[in-house]
Amino acid sequence: MPGNSLDNFDQAKGVDFRLLADLPLFQGLPAEELQVLAGLLCVTEVPPDTLLFREGDPGDHFYIISSGEVEVIKSLGSSSEWLVAVLGPGEFLGDLSLLNPDRLRTASVRSRGPVKLWEMHHTDMDDLLDRQPRVAYKLVCTLGARLTEMDNAIITNLKEKNRELTQAYEALQSAQEQLLEKERLERELQVAYDIQMSILPQQLPDLPGYDFGARIVPARAVGGDFFDLIPLSEDRVGIVIGDVADKGIPAAIFMARAHALLYAEVFQCPTPAEVLRRVNRHLNKINVPNLFVTVLYGVLDRRTGRFEYARAGHELPVTLFPGERVARVPHDTGQLLGILEEPALDLQTLVLPPGGMLLLYTDGLVDGVSPQGERFGYKRLLANADRWRDRSAQELCDRLLDSILAFQGDAHLQDDVTIVAISFFSGSL
């Protein structure tokens, strides 16, 4: 629409002069003046939600609201848009553009609903002000009141903006502090991870006739799984795998303590069963609530292939023997460490034949869940182990880890995963 004439809307010439007498701006004017003024006005009907004119448009007309309401808006359509005022019947608009030398609108005006306007050209308004200075006085008084109201609104708006900026600055400071704290925690977790990994074997044993493999992946930055391959003599190696019943930092601390206790006892005790019983007594003295550990510890004799072990609530070993199906070994009751005074231990002995392999793992390997909610389970473990039974011990561990990660898809591991494999690849000792 043209900016300053509202020519797009229906107009009618002339207004009943008696209606003008009730307007504060024209009160006190002689009847003859009111009749002249009424003949100069045009009546304009404006539809709802219509932009009458924009801020910065040239303005040659003065408007009086006969009915309806309009919104006076600064910076329309920008991020700093601001509703300055709502004007109703009897109020006028377009006055500032008549007083400005450049005659530009100082704000945008939009109808709220149907609006009826009385429109006067600026030349007619100038003539009226020359004839009736009292109208100019009332106009200036109204303008002064509006400017004062606008100043107050600007001050209030600036205070609100300042409050919002203060809040935004404080939020930014808080976010920065949280970011710094997050970075600090990430550095500390990385250090904790490095420390935890340093506890585990940095190099697998070189035992003639045998091949070892291992993989460990925490579900979080650090975890509660652990394993170790401890040379006890020229012909004997201690093999341990454990799983603390928790994840994250608490489990990692408990895991480090359990591993240290076990490492110390393997050189003091004659049998795997006695090692686990002593470790359990130490853990019970620590008495950490809701933390316990499953462990399998055994000793492998390289000359006989004999593996004597004690199992405290841990997952059952899997055998991959030549000419036999891949299977979990026979077992008895084995109770976890760190809760009972005298837990029952599953004491077993098996002989690893030439060409055979033994697989140890934590429950994170079988408890993984697919995106469809299906558990990986023991059947898939045995099937995958059978598929890669002719590979090296390390490659078997790698393939099994890849299979659980692929099974879970994009989901994060729900639990730590640890895999240890021992292969007897030669009959010559």
| Residues 384 and 253 both lie in one domain | yes
Distance CA 129, CA 141 (A): 14
Residue 191 maps to a domain: no
**What pLDDT is recorded for position 2?**
39
Closest CA to 295 of 287, 283, 285, 306: 283
| Residues 266 and 411 both lie in one domain | yes
**What pLDDT is recorded for position 392?**
95
Beta-strand ranges (E) seen in 267-415 are 293-301, 306-312, 318-320, 327-328, 346-351, 357-361
From residue 279, give the alpha-carbon distance in Å to each of 20, 58, 239: 102, 91, 15
| Residues 300 and 411 both lie in one domain | yes
Distance CA 62, CA 84 (A): 19
Residues of the domain holding 16: 11-158
**Model confidence at 189: pLDDT above 50:** yes
Mean pLDDT for all residues in the chain? 87
Per the structure, how many domains does the chain have? 2
What is the mean pLDDT of the segment spanning 189-198? 75
Other beta carbons within 10 angstroms of residue 189's beta carbon come to 16
| Residues 288 and 362 both lie in one domain | yes
Residues 307-353 have pLDDT tens digits of 999 999 999 999 999 999 999 999 999 999 999 999 999 999 999 99
Residue 267 maps to a domain: yes
| Residues 307 and 359 both lie in one domain | yes
Closest CA to 68 of 95, 41, 49: 49
CATH number of the structural domain spanning residue 96 = 2.60.120.10
Distance CA 9, CA 15 (A): 17
CATH number of the structural domain spanning residue 329 = 3.60.40.10
CA–chain centroid gap for 225, Å, is 28
